[in-house]
Amino acid sequence: MTQSMISDSVQRLFAGLVNTKTLLQMERDHWPDELWKITETSGYADVLVPQNKGGFGGSFLDAYEILRSAGAHSLPLPLAETIVARYMLSNIGMDVPQGPITMIEQGRQSEIELMTVGNVLQVKGKAISVPWARWCDWLMVHASLKGSGVLALIQIKDQSKVSITKRENIAKEPRDDIVFDGVVCSAYAPITHSFTEPIWGLGALTRSMQIVGALEASFDMSLTYVSQREQFGKPLGNNQAVQQMLAVMASETAAAKMATQVAAMCTSDTTALFDIAVAKVRSGEAAGRAAAIAHQVHGAMGTTQEYGLNFLTRRLWSWRREFGSDAHWAEKLGSATIAAGSENFWFGLTSRSIL
Amino acid sequence: MTLEAFSIEVSSLDQKCEALRQEVREFLAVHLQNRPLREKAKNWSAADPEFSQQLGHRGWIGMVWPKEYGGHEKTALERYVVVEELLAANAPVAAHWPADRQTGPLILKFGSEDMKRKILPGVARGETYFCIGLSEPNTGSDLASLQTSAVRTDHGWVINGTKVWTSLAHSSHYMVTLVRTSKGEKRQAGLSQFLIDMKTPGIGIRPILSLTGDHDFNEVSLVDVEVPHEAMIGEEGDGWKQVTAELAFERSGPERYLTSSQLLLEMLAMSSVNDPRQAIELGRVVAGYATLRQMSLGIATMLSRGENPALAAALVKDLGAGIEQGMTELAHHLFDAESAPIGSSLEEVASYTTQLAPSYSIKGGSREILRSIVARGLGMR
């Protein structure tokens, strides 16, 4: 399947299944079970799982098409997290379980400790703002065990040693707090990845992909709205002031898209972490600027719950904060650039080796 | 989806390009020593004919042109690497810049065989320079309103009018002008392009000093300037079409985001890893540079395949001007008179760049015009 075929089929699927009603139900703490089952059966969550392990064997550019579409339709499922988790698990030869998976990086919005007790690995500690935790069967954690990296899988559903406090982001997507009270991991394995904190980094990359989709969809809504809505006897879009705002929105979207596509193409290269940082900074900046313009050109209509724009803009405001905000990743880029010295700036930029 | 009209390809540079990059870096390390800070801060508006000739000697001008016209038949991406290295090193490229970037490709595409053979080899050697006569005293963004006229005679054409904001007219050998050859129903229809030898009688050059005190701009008056028939570039009446194609080259290059680089370097040198505010704000610039670089590279690839990414180029220039102008404001926010006192390198570059910055969103297409072009691409106009 080519990327445009994936894009077409995933667009059709999500467009047919996700609507205002589905989204509002999710916001009222209702797990869209049917939607999950159809999505999981379709195989999209296995896009990065190798074919010999029953997956699609795709690239991060394929994942980009899927998650961009998920972003455009505000898909109320932990698809990004499950795609990354199944990728990482299968990549190091661990069994990939069915059902939704969430994930945390040790030390990032979490204070956890891994310890071996007899033959088993236990997890103690807490994590905050864990995406979709209350509805996930599994949680994947990347952490350090006696100085080496391990990837561990924990069954968190109906688990007495895991307590979950419900919280949510601006889009009312579940972002729960979790306490681990010596819960035993179902499986774990050593992992080396081409960059440190792979869950944090790949989480940021997938959020950038979702942001691109939400930017494109909110742009389309805005353009359609200003073409149809008439004031002073002409469409709003006939006014230069409105045209110039949409031009800026198009530019921001194009920049976010470019940065994210580059990062999606280079996930296994030595430039991966730099590319991801650039993508999260640039998509995060675009998210804020574009959401402001989308609302401005929609007038009061855009501020209502009934009109669909808010589902996109609330996600833009949420996703730009998750797996590291644009400021977080900018600080990483900036301090590494300053530390390298101004005379090495251009070399670092062209070789994309600043991080 | 309407945004598809703005799609920019993701492209990457191969080993051959990276090897060439090393060559250019080594060359620049030798040839660009001890330049005054202010010259560096001028970036691509600094001219040095001797430097241009050295580049020509290395084969780094007219890189993609056919060998029979003095070119070197390299790929567009090889040229891209050379160009971005020159800009990042603040090399004084202004003398040959318009010729290499847009006038050369214009002549190659639309010029007569004679013109190509006569003009292009000198350009590629870094010896022949061009200025570009588009704007007029009453014609800025509304280019099609221009008044300079060419009237046909038995021997050729007689040109009368005034061109303004003509960069480096005083040190150029030729000017490529857009003039009116007939008054048609549509204003864009009666325009044609001419290649005028600057030694032709009737040409007057008056310097216009910029607010920094630099002499870059000129007003060029053309009084009964006689040119032969062969001076016309392309077909009579095709001037508008030719100029708009040329502008895609002018608008998408790395010079559209690298102009304030010296200021970025000065800020990096003065920043501390322990100051999160400096790290965050400079990190945002790094992300912006990295993104614009990929966009610019993508457009170079598309141009090399004969596509016309004019819409995307307009968008990239607008974004690039934003980051270039933002740099002077950032310097102002991050460094005060105490941390960058008058006389310090940072202050010198910041002060100079602050005065240059307003032009970044004017020359090569004003911000308002670029955004109108984008809006037209979106079907809004």
CB A7 within 8 A of CB A65: yes
Please report, rounded to a whole number, the percentage of residues in chain A having pLDDT higher than 70.
100
Give the mean model confidence (pLDDT) for residues A73-82.
Answer: 98
Residues 6+ away with beta carbon under 8 Å from A340: A348, A354
Q: Tell me the percentage of chain A whose pLDDT exceeds 90.
A: 95
The CATH number of the domain holding residue B344 is 1.20.140.10
Structure confidence at residue A3 (pLDDT): 79
Q: Determine, yes or no, domain membership for B311.
A: yes
The per-residue pLDDT for B250 is: 74
Sorted by where each begins, the domain ranges of chain A are 3-190, 198-350
* DSSP state, residue B211: T
Identify whether residues B34 and B121 lie together within a single domain.
yes
Q: Residues A80-96: pLDDT tens digits?
A: 999 999 999 999 999 99
Which of A223, A277, A329 faces B2 most closely, judged by CB atoms? A223
Residue closest to A212 by CA, chosen among A292, A320, A293? A320
Nearest to B290 among A278, A342, A343 (CB): A278
The pLDDT score that the predictor gives to residue B304 is 80
A223-247 per-position pLDDT tens digit: 999 999 999 999 999 999 999 999 9
Measured CA distances, A2 to A206, A242, A262 (Å):
20, 37, 18
Annotated active-site residue in B250, B266, B324, B348:
B250
pLDDT at position A1 is 65
pLDDT band of A266, cuts 50, 70, 90 = confident
Domain spanning A198-350: which CATH class is it, in words? mainly alpha
Q: What is the pTM of this model?
A: 0.96
Whether B257 is in a domain gets the answer yes
Least confident of A19-33, A199-213, B173-187: B173-187
The domain that holds B103 is classified in CATH as 1.10.540.10
Q: Is there a contact between A349 and B319 if contact means CB atoms under 8 Å apart?
A: no
Q: Report the domain count for chain B.
A: 3
B contact test, residue of A218, A221, A251 with most B CBs within 10 A: A251
B315 at interface of A, judged by CB pairs closer than 8 A = yes
Q: Is residue B247 included in any domain, yes or no? A: no
pLDDT-flagged residues of chain B (< 70): 1
Asked if B371 and A243 come within 8 Å (Cβ–Cβ), the reply is yes
Amino acid at A319: W
Which residues of chain B are within 8 Å of residue A244 when distances are taken between CB atoms?
A: 368, 371-372, 375
Instruction: Tell me if chain A has a CB within 8 Å of the CB of B276.
Output: yes
Please report the pLDDT score of residue B52 as a whole number.
Answer: 98
Residues B185 and B124 in one domain: no
Tell me how far apart the alpha carbons of residues B172 and B128 are, in angstroms, rounded to a whole number: 7
Give yes or no for B5 touching A (CB within 8 A): no
B260 and B330 fall within a common domain: yes
Instruction: Please give the average per-residue pLDDT across A114-141, as a whole number.
Output: 97
Q: Mean pLDDT of all residues in chain A?
A: 96
- Domain A3-190 in CATH 3.40.50.720? The answer is no
B270 and B213 assigned to the same domain: no
Task: Judge if B181 and B281 occupy the same domain.
Answer: no
B280 touches chain A (CB under 8 A): yes
Are residues B113 and B64 part of one domain?
Answer: yes
Do B283 and A335 make contact, defined as CB atoms within 8 angstroms? Answer: yes
Q: Which residues of A touch B283 (CB under 8 A)?
A: 277, 281, 329-335, 337
ipTM for this model = 0.97
pLDDT tens-digit series, residues A271-306: 999 999 999 999 999 999 999 999 999 999 999 999
Identify whether the C-beta of residue B136 lies closer than 8 Å to the C-beta of residue B147: yes
Q: Please give the residue range of the domain that contains residue B64.
A: 2-128
Report the SS3 class of residue A208: helix
Residue after which a domain boundary falls, among B76, B110, B128: B128
What is the pLDDT at residue A284?
A: 98
* Chain A residues near residue B89 by CB distance under 8 angstroms: 346
Tell which of B182, B211, B239 closes a domain.
B239
- Whole-angstrom Cα distance, residue B325 to residue B86? 20
Q: Which residue of B has its CA nearest to A245?
A: B371
**Among B208, B239, B270, which residue terminates a domain?**
B239
